[in-house]
Amino acid sequence: MATAFQHPSTEQSTTSLVSGIVSDFQDLVKQQLQLTRQEIIEDIRKAKEGAWLYSIGVGTLVLSAIPIVFALVYLLHWATSPAGNDPASIPLWGCYAIVGIVLAAIGGVMTWQGMIKFEAMNPLTHNPATEALKENVEWATGRK
């Protein structure tokens, strides 16, 4: 009779143990999904920041082409005009060139920073939380 009495409690403790394992596994999966979600949100933030810098940089580079083209026109005019016609210490073409080069440098740096932001993103294939979730699901299902 004592054996019959212990048998139901053993089944109950095994059932509660398995239930606890399943509950813990569910909690682990929920936490990993939350972590994956946070990492995706961070990647989206980095993508927005990178796109903003990249677009502003490209826009500035395009804008810098305007004074550079004017500088080339004025350089051609200056090179073909007689000596001593321009009393300014920096010829007009030089002023346009300086402005164009400064804008091109700023645009180049911003474009470069935008590219760095895009490269810093972790796509989901290299996301540590996603990899851990895959490993846990493979462990739970017994597949590899």
Query: Is 135 within a domain?
Result: no
Residue range of the domain that includes 118: 56-124
pLDDT in tens, 126-138: 666 667 777 777 7
Q: Which two tokens stand for residue 13?
A: 């403790």
- Would you place residue 40 in the very low, low, confident or very high pLDDT band (cuts 50, 70, 90)? confident
Cα–Cα distance measured from residue 112 to residue 54, given in angstroms and rounded to the nearest whole number: 7
Query: Is 129 within a domain?
Result: no
What is the mean pLDDT of the segment spanning 100-114?
Answer: 92
Query: Is 99 within a domain?
Result: yes
Query: Is 86 within a domain?
Result: yes
Query: Is 8 within a domain?
Result: no
Residue 142 in this model has a pLDDT that exceeds 50 = yes
Number of domains forming the structure of the chain:
1
Query: Is 37 within a domain?
Result: no
Cα–Cα distance measured from residue 138 to residue 130, given in angstroms and rounded to the nearest whole number: 12
| pLDDT score recorded for residue 20 | 85
Cα–Cα distance measured from residue 53 to residue 108, given in angstroms and rounded to the nearest whole number: 10
| pLDDT score recorded for residue 115 | 87
- Of the listed ranges 26-35, 122-131, 134-143, the least confidently predicted one is 122-131
| pLDDT score recorded for residue 60 | 92
Residue 105 in this model has a pLDDT that exceeds 90 = yes
Cα–Cα distance measured from residue 76 to residue 86, given in angstroms and rounded to the nearest whole number: 14
| pLDDT score recorded for residue 126 | 65
